[in-house]
Amino acid sequence: MADRPRALLAMSPEFLPLLFPDPLMRRLRDALDLDPGLVAQDFADPAVQPVFAEAEVLVSSWGVPRLDAEALAKAPRLRAVLHAAGTVKSIVAEEGWARGLAVSSSSGANALPVAEYTLASILMAGKGIFNLREDFRTQRSFTLGHVHPEVGNFGRTVGIVGASKIGRRVIELLRPFDFDVLVADPYLDEAEAAELGAELVDLDSLVARCDVVSVHAPDLPETAKLISAERLAAMKDGTVVVNTARGRLVDTDALTAEVAAGRLSAVIDVTHPEPLPAESPLYDLPNAFVTPHVAGSHGNELSRMGLFMVEEAERWARGEDLAHRVDPSTLWRQA
């Protein structure tokens, strides 16, 4: 099909078959004129340069070289970037936005497993599963019919810090359950929060009122230690802190102290530093559940990210608007 837009793949090659298994690669090649055997890791590579110079579309993922002024000068026909990964903050330089590149991202696809992980964490933490498992593993016995008065999800208050794509998806997933949901986000108004199904509050009110505080804010200089020692201290005894955003958003030392004291619990998939030092108490504390940055897309979930960009390629080839186009004016505050 001679009228297919010319395209180039750009990423670390090991991701290609995970993002685009055979059925998706066939669809991608039906939409775009590309060589699946050519995967760019360096736009200055002599094998890549001729194709890059003719490419209208770049299909990218983790490991793509940065599209800065030097790279863009080598690709005068480039008009679209279909990024089968999350944020494009570090991928597209100002010169790309100035050119008017249509940039699409699979961040919405990546938001889904993170939100699912968060929902599972909230539900299991509310049932006291993490502590009870440790107790049961130690004691190897329990009293049938014994009621644990401190657990249960009925009527709990969950606080969502940041109405990002992930934060919004978590709120959506919480709707079938008997939770009161609060949200704190300086860019959200009360009507938007109500439409999501949450009550808009400021962050200090949220941390003081909630039984679970789940972090979904962007990683910015001004959000470093957003969940500070003071805000952790303001949380009620027994509050669970869930962090699937970035470790820098939570004061690690203060959280460790609160969890070690037994006052708070934590489910943390991201830490600062990452990974934690081997001697960190968080690995061994029964009220800390630490996972190795796995909430986002892994395994077969990667092909969903690929699917998002295959569908975008098909839209582009038909001359339609991209469904997941990134708005550069809001990029700086996206999670």
CA distance 193 to 185: 9
CB 216 within 8 A of CB 189: no
Catalytic residue of the set 94, 190, 274, 320: 274
**CA nearest to 308, candidates 116, 83, 90, 100:** 83
CA distance 157 to 327: 33
> What is the 3-state composition of the chain as percent helix, strand, coil, each rounded to the nearest 5?
40, 15, 45
CB 268 within 8 A of CB 288: yes
Catalytic residue of the set 168, 246, 304, 324: 246
CB within 8 Å of 22: residues ≥ 6 apart: none
- Beginning with the edge strand found earlier in the chain, give each strand of the sheet holding 7-10 in spatial order: 39-40, 7-10, 57-60, 80-83, 102-105
Q: Which amino acid, residue 169?
A: R
Catalytic residue of the set 293, 301, 314, 325: 293
CB within 8 Å of 83: residues ≥ 6 apart: 60, 61, 64, 91, 103, 104, 105, 106, 309
**286 phi/psi in degrees, rounded to 5:** -65, -25
Is 293 in the active site?
yes
HSE-up of residue 5 (Cα within 13 Å, Cβ side):
24
| Active site amino acids | 246, 274, 293
